[in-house]
Amino acid sequence: MKPLVLVVDDNDRYANNLKAYLENLGCRVLRATDAEQGWNLFLQNRSELAGVITDITMETQTSGLWMIRKIHKIGFSGIKVIATTGFDVFGVMAISKFLLPTFAGISFMVPKIPLKNGNVLMLPTGIASEPFEKAIFLHS
């Protein structure tokens, strides 16, 4: 069965580029436009989900971060990814790759400048043991 991935992002351009990337890998994709909707879709589809990709800033400055932390804290073992413009600021990704795994079990980070142009870079954190393209199928 094809892996199911939840994409949570209020920006259609970023979400559509992630969706196209995931579908090209052979994944099925659910889309939420804010953290509240993302949480509800997560709860409805938890048993099927291989992964969750979320933006941080949506209805509040950190709503996506708190949603993914809550998902992590309840024991979701699928792949957790953060895609944010914050990673495009010098030094943020270098620090985040060590902090985000502990804070929310984040395995991959997606900078938004390349994503805006349709280039999805799944950059691993310290806990990623496989490339995203392989890891997502291992969790399906």
For residue 26, the 8-state DSSP code is T
Give residue 48's pLDDT: 97
> Which fold is adopted by the domain 4-138?
Rossmann fold (3.40.50)
For residue 78, the 8-state DSSP code is S
Which residues, in sequence order, are CB contacts of 91 under 8 Å at separation 6+?
none
Please report which helix (H) or strand (E) contains residue 7, including its range: strand 4-8
pLDDT tens digit sequence for 115-136: 999 999 999 999 999 999 999 9
The distance from CA 17 to its chain's CA centroid, rounded to whole angstroms, is 13
The distance from CA 47 to its chain's CA centroid, rounded to whole angstroms, is 17
Domain residue extents for the chain = 4-138
Instruction: Indicate if the pLDDT at residue 91 is higher than 90.
Output: no
Give residue 89's pLDDT: 84
In whole angstroms, what is the distance from residue 60 CA to residue 53 CA? 17
Instruction: Indicate if the pLDDT at residue 34 is higher than 80.
Output: yes
pLDDT tens digit sequence for 15-24: 999 999 999 9
